[in-house]
Amino acid sequence: MAGNVGLPQTTANALSVLEFAGFPGVPVAAGSPVPLLRPALDAFRVHGESGLGHARLPPPRARPLDVGATDLILDAIGASPREITLVATGPLTNIALAVRRQPSLASQVAEFVIMGGSAGRGNVTAAAEFNIAADPEAAAIVFGAGWRVTMVGLDATLQARVSPVVRERLAGLGRLGSDLLLPSLRGYRADGATAARAGPAGGGPGRSPGPAGPAGEGPAVHDVCALALVAEPGLFGCWPARVEVETAGRWTSGMTVTDFGAPPEARNALVATSVDAARFWDTVIGAWARLPVAQARS
């Protein structure tokens, strides 16, 4: 769906990145162009007009599916019940629409992981992280759908930063590094300023909020963290909690109100609060290095 930039561009980006990486057959469906109830929120100032920073990939040859993202989600999970891990790395509008159409979806996925939210402070406001702030009503539907949401939010993602050492490693990934990863990071804001106290980083519930990641180390790779958790859950420290999404607050709309002390029967989420950054980068870069495009010279 629309998020960092508008829907036509995000759809084209998905197709272009898949073709560039060597996976042209992966189906892509356009999602909702707008949130459920609010005007669209974008992140041009962070990710540039294209949504890919300074990366310039060829226009995609493929076209998106004729069906929308909600249909694709429901059809794919319906065809393989309890076998698919659903991962959301943007606003939760499409997931909410799918849950509205088919409430039993919550019992049909193997696992549901999101990149979004924060147990502490936000990054678009003092209270809210971008993906949740972009459509709080959708997020409230999703967190209340009856499944366990694994929330990989700013508490963990701001600890996974692209340091100068990591940039050197990315430069060794052939065209993947030189044409996509490094250009997409150029000019990308480190975005830790408003999220400098993003929850119990490095520890569990009950600790006082502290810095979410060392300042000045470079930008965080938020979305990658959700996929890394699916691939290797042991990289992250996660804690069960009750998460409610604030939709009405004047200053707190989009806040993921996180109660680590909720009774077990009330907990609806598993919240990532820390990540082993060194192992994270070994895992991620190791996976990227296996792509054919990473072995192609610039």
Q: Is 222 a catalytic residue?
A: yes
User: 14: closest CA among 74, 84, 72, 63?
Assistant: 63
Task: Identify the residue whose tokens are 């990227």.
Answer: 288
Residues 40 and 154: their CA atoms lie apart, in Å, by 21
Contacts of 79 (CB under 8 A, 6+ apart): none
Kindly tell me the number of DSSP H helices and DSSP E strands found in the chain: 12, 6
Straight-line distance from the first to the last Cα atom of the chain, in angstroms, rounded to the nearest whole number: 32
User: 204: closest CA among 277, 116, 273?
Assistant: 273
Residue of 222, 226, 277, 294 marked active site: 222
β-bridge mates for residue 239, sequence order: 271
Q: Which positions are annotated as active-site residues?
A: 222
